[in-house]
Structures are given as C-alpha cells and as structure tokens.
Amino acid sequence: MSAQRIDAVRKLCQTRNLDGFIVTNMDQIRYLTGFSGSAGLLIVAEKKPQFLTDFRYTEQARKEVKGARVSIVKGGLISSLKDFPTFNVTNRRYGFSAEMTTVLIRDQLQRALPDCLLVEADEIFGELGWVKEKTEIESIQKAVDVSDIAFERILNLIAPGIRERELAAELEYQMIMLGSEKIAFESIVASGYRSAMPHGAASPKKLKKGEFVTFDFGATVDGYVSDITRTVVVGKATSRQKKVYQTVAKAQMAAIRMVKPGVLGKTVDATARNLITKAGYGKNFGHGTGHGISVVVHSGPRLSPLSEDKLKVGNVVTVEPGIYISGWGGVRIEDDILVTRGGHRVLNQAPKKLLEL
C-alpha cells in the first residue's frame, strides 16, 4: 500500500511540472512509507524513491520502510542530499510542504540544493489520506477504544482536591497500558473557570465541588490517532450547568446526524452552530465543529463555517461543538465519526450523558 501512496504523490508532481517532492514531516513519512522512527527524509522522484535516515535506525528502517530504497547517511540528512546525483542537475524543481516545514529546514534545504528550485506545493498532499482504507479505519477504531476505556477507568478518581495534572497523568498512563504508542496530543484537563479555555492544558489547579471538568485527549495505534472530549461535573450540577450541557449535547447529536456522503463541512458546522445560537450562546462558540483525523490529529475534511470540503465515504471526522463562558466554565463534547455509504458510524462508546461525580 505504501508504494501506491508514494506513486500517487509522484503522479501529482508530474501534473504540476515538478521533478519530485522532498518530504520532511515524520507523520507524512510514516503515512507514505510505514517508518515510525523520529529521523528521516523521503525523496519522491521519477526513479525509485529514496528514504534517508541515520545509523540509529538502520534495522528499523530496513524492516519498516516500504516503497522506497533505504540509505543510511552520515552527518545531517539534509546536507547529505548534495551527494545524490538527482540533485546535481541544474534547474530541477522540487516540491515541499510549506505548511509542514519549519523556516529552519526550508533554509537548510535551499543551502544544500543551490542548483534546484524549491517550490511550495502543499496541494500535492491535498486530500491525500482523507479517505481511509480498511486497515486505517481499524487502527483508528483501536485508538478510539483505548481512549474510551481509559476515560472510564479514571472516573472514580474525579473528586475535589485532585489536581488537573494528576488526572491527565493517570489518563495518559491508562492509554499507554491499554496499547497506545503515545498520546495523540497534549492532554487537556480543564476545571472550573479554566473549562472555558478550549485548549486549557492540564494545570496544577485542584478540582472543586460544583465545577465542570473538560477532558480532551487521544491515543495512537499503528500511527493513527483518536480525539475525544468529555465534560463532567464534580458533584451535583446546577440548573445552569445542565442547560449549557444539554445545549451542547443537542447540537452535537444534530451535527452528527448531518454527517453523510456529499454533505459540505460548513453544513455540518451550521447545524450545530444554529442550535447553539438559538439557545443564546452563539458568541460563546468560537471554533469549528470538527476536523478530520489520520496520522495527525488535525487533518481534512474540516467542519467549519467556511469549509467547502465535501464529505466522502471513508472520511473520519470529529464532531465537537462547545460553549465557553469566560470566568464561569465551559462544555465540549466530541466523538470520532466514520462516514459510511449509508451515512455515518460513531466510533466512540464512552458515555455522553451528564456525569455528576
């Protein structure tokens, strides 16, 4: 399958008058070759693709890399490019992903390849990987299962006095013990007034009775990630908390029902956003309703007010509306959804009713 993915990149390069593509992002490299190490460089050109890594990954690369010739180089990976004949031809055009490449790496590439023209070509990847193969869906489902079980395992720890970071540490420990390679992203555990921060990373703050606590986290299996959010209450919920939670839950369920082949991302977003706005909380929902997941946690298609992305069978997207009230708290509920021929399938099983713990 790796050879087919690399071949798709090669063909796209040809249609854009590029002599090849230099892949520096490790997530993209894993998607294209299967290599799971932390240092590598992939050159997709007319002849057999080259994968470059260093001595530390000799055995791993030869075992994992599919669809490319493995070269073990000494010194810097980028500086070694000058030793490859394909780069010693004047005026060759090579694409690279500006979105996935730091300025430092871009400058290193330019210095290493003075006779080549580097072209920003993020469109080469475009929708590549948005439609999942069967094995990819299976890996994502395993990652979802890990995150679901880990969440249920920490519920009995949620009580006044425990710190957000302690809960995040236990959550991440459980995911690793359940088979996650690593956490998909920095886990969010935000309580009380901090739950109004959509990306409130876990802090030393202690939980207090009567507060919302929002958990946003994910596992990684075979390189593919999950992304789940749940919000609970420490103790009994107030009527206001119940209203906000029920509003988000209703919006999420309505948006999930809209997920089906051919529907635009902005249509799914509008479904959730309109319900939240009608309830009086429109100004408190400031982010998109969802995004695709893959070997990276934020991919396409996107579910946002401006998204023209059209859902296709095999897409896996999050649906995650929220309400955030500064100084008081917030609620977000998120599931991972597979687009199927008949509509959709919710991959998560973790409870979504308002838990009062």
117 and 184 belong to one structural domain: no
Distances (CA, A) of 222 to 117, 241, 263, 332: 35, 38, 29, 27
Q: Across the chain, what does the average pLDDT equal?
A: 95
Residues 55 and 188 in one domain: no
Q: Out of 124, 159, 184, pick the residue that ends a domain.
A: 124
160 and 72 within one domain: no
* Statement to judge: residues 160 and 281 lie in one domain: yes
Residue 235, amino acid: G
Q: Which two tokens stand for residue 7?
A: 């071949």
CA distance 32 to 118: 21
- Read off the CATH number of the domain in which 181 is found: 3.90.230.10
Which residue did the predictor score with more confidence, 294 or 4?
294
What pLDDT is recorded for position 88? 77
Torsion angle, alpha carbons of 102, 107, 112, 115, to 10: 120
Same domain for 220 and 83 = no
- Quote the CA–CA distance of 315 and 129 in Å, as a whole number: 9
Location of structure tokens 């394909």: 86
Is 202's pLDDT higher than 90? yes
Give this prediction's pTM: 0.92
Q: Other CB atoms closer than 10 Å to residue 14's CB: what's the count?
A: 11
Instruction: Tell me the torsion sign for CA atoms 183, 186, 192, 198.
Output: negative
How many whole angstroms from its chain centre is CA 18?
A: 28
Alpha helices, DSSP H only, in the chain? 2-15, 26-33, 58-64, 103-112, 134-154, 164-177, 239-258, 265-278
Phi and psi at residue 170, in whole multiples of 5°? -65, -40
Give dist(CA 123, CA 126) in Å, integer: 4
Residue 115 shares a structural domain with residue 203: no
Whether 353 maps to a domain, the answer reads no
Given this model, what pLDDT does residue 295 score?
Answer: 93
Q: Is 356 within the bounds of a domain?
A: no
Q: In this structure, are 281 and 164 located in the same domain?
A: yes
CB 330 within 8 A of CB 214: yes
Q: State how far the Cα of 15 lies from the Cα of 87, in Å rounded to an integer.
A: 20
Output b/e per residue, 173-209; b: 16+ Cβ within 10 A.
ebbeebebbebbbebbbbbbbbbbbbebbbeebebee
Same domain, 70 and 169: no
* Residues 51/30, Cβ–Cβ less than 8 Å: no
Mean pLDDT of 321-330: 98
Between CA 174 and CA 156 the distance in angstroms is 13
User: What residues make up the domain containing 186?
Assistant: 134-346
pLDDT of residue 282: 98
To the nearest whole percent, how much of the chain has pLDDT over 90?
87
Residue owning tokens 């006779």: 115
Verify that 86 and 229 share a domain, yes or no: no
The distance from CA 181 to its chain's CA centroid, rounded to whole angstroms, is 15
Q: What is the pLDDT averaged over residues 142-163?
A: 98
For residues 46 and 180, membership in a common domain is answered with: no
Q: Name the residue type at position 266.
A: K
Locate 166 and state its tokens: 């302690």
* 199 in any annotated domain: yes
pLDDT digit string, tens, across residues 225-267 = 999 999 999 999 999 999 999 999 999 999 999 999 999 999 9
Query: How many whole angstroms separate alpha carbon 258 and alpha carbon 248?
Result: 16
Residue 59, pLDDT > 70, answer: yes
Distance CA 270, CA 156 (A): 36
Identify whether 71 is part of a domain.
yes
Of 336, 346, 340, give the one whose Cα is nearest residue 261. 340
Q: How many domains does the chain have?
A: 2
Residue 352 forms part of a structural domain: no
SS3 291: strand
Give me the pLDDT at residue 1, please: 66
Alpha-carbon gap, residue 40 to 24, rounded angstroms:
7
| 216 lies in some domain | yes
pLDDT of residue 47: 76
